[in-house]
Amino acid sequence: MLTAILGAQPAKATNGYFANGYGGTSKGMAGAGVAIPTGVLGLAQNPATGTALPTQAGICLTGFQPERGFSIAPGGPLAEGRQTSDNSLFWIPCGGFNYNLDEQSSVAVFMFGNGGMNVEYGTNPFAGLAPKVTTDPLGINLEQAFISLNYARRLTPRLSVGLGPVLAVQRFSATGLEPFAGMSVQPGALTHGGDDWSTGLGMSLGLIYRLDSQWSLGASWRSRIDMRPFEDYAGLFADGGDFDIPAVATLGVAFRPSGNPGLTLTAEYQRIFYGSVESLANSGAMLAAPLGSAGGPGFGWQDMDVIRIAAAQKVNDRLTLRGGISHASSFIDDDGEVLLNILAPATPRWHASIGYSYRLSERATLTGSYTHAFHETESGANRTPGLGQQTTLFMEQDEISMGISWDF
């Protein structure tokens, strides 16, 4: 399953490079799911929701169609003009199983794509930096897949908690970075290293507290995951190829109006701690230190704050409809960081989603969703001498998710 997830080549830079929700139920509410149960894949957002699920298996498939790229103004060695990345459709599988040990506790195992980024440009905008060097088209591919075990327990009629280890597997490759060989501590480990794999282990924690029959609160935290360095790209990423996965924390509230018990309203706040991962957060606005060095250049990413508001309406015993919006802060706050982020144009900030669940029988339920990440741009100029041409990044994305669950 992990091989299938990674082989699908995720290109979903929505909230940075993290996915905006996991599974069709959550995705139909713009990624919400920390204060309400959203199925087996919802355990990725809050492990405590396992106590609200039946013994259940689920599989899902998400398709992404991003449009992303850049434009460079004339006036320097960088190739001017607009380029849009190739590779426009990606499919990501996921699945899991939750088992009720008794009325108070459950265990689960589930697998999903955490996120990633893919660009593949037809030509290389950096070729002019080294005109005597033969360069290939510019492109990178980052893929991250998680497998998680989960234990959830209802401590009191109102309070449930959950926790579990998270095994992360990531894969990275890059081409077309030959013009930066003179700026790297390890030119032989800068580009064309093929697929380099990395693994790490983290922890996920969560709780849900039911204030009364109408209100519930949810909170979750997933630790930073210390990943094995990308040795084949030790001349690209800071600190010799280090590329850890940042921690993420989420708080949320859900409300069920007494006059419409089939309606659930939910809102949540999430922070993704990109700013604590040096290879992402170190500034690349001025390439004063070599690529790959200790404390070397990164992409200038900062912590990202995400706000979500969503609703689910049970129409009848078979059909539930959902919708939601989310807004994220910008992934960079210095316009000098734009140039290197040609490799990762993670510009979208607004998402809008709709979704549904339809119960086919007493045991089987279909789930689907559609999400649009709205067009967003970031513009600026690098401050390194010779690299100061105005550059604009852009991206938008359409996404569909479908799945089926089976209650035992």
Per-residue model confidence as pLDDT tens digits over 234-263: 999 999 999 999 999 999 999 999 989 899
What's residue 9's pLDDT? 47
Q: Is the pLDDT of residue 5 over 70?
A: no
What mean pLDDT do residues 273-280 have?
97
Q: Is the pLDDT of residue 11 over 80?
A: no
For residues 133 and 162, the model is more confident at 162
Cα 173 from Cα 239, distance rounded (Å): 18
What's residue 297's pLDDT? 95
What mean pLDDT do residues 52-75 have?
95
Cα 185 from Cα 251, distance rounded (Å): 42
Q: Which fold has domain 2-407?
A: Porin (2.40.160)
Write down the domain spans for the chain.
2-407
What mean pLDDT do residues 397-405 have?
96
What's residue 115's pLDDT? 87
Give residues with Cβ within 8 angstroms of 244, minimum separation 6: 200, 224, 225, 226, 227, 277, 279
Residue 265 CB burial class (10 angstroms; 0-12, 13-18, ≥19): middle
Q: Is the pLDDT of residue 359 over 70?
A: yes
The total of other beta-carbon atoms located within 10 Å of residue 182's CB is: 12
Q: Is the pLDDT of residue 345 over 60?
A: yes
What's residue 274's pLDDT? 97
> What separation, in Å, do the N-terminal and C-terminal C-alpha atoms of the chain show?
22
Percent of the chain scored above 90 by pLDDT? 88
The answer to whether residues 88 and 66 touch, using CB atoms and an 8 Å cutoff, is yes
Tokens of 4: 């299938």
The sign of the torsion formed by the CA atoms of 12, 15, 19, 25 equals negative
DSSP H helical segments within 146-290, as ranges? 238-241, 278-281
Backbone phi, then psi, for 40, in 5-degree steps? -60, -45
For tokens 């708080």, the residue is 251
The answer to whether residues 7 and 301 touch, using CB atoms and an 8 Å cutoff, is no
What mean pLDDT do residues 367-372 have?
97
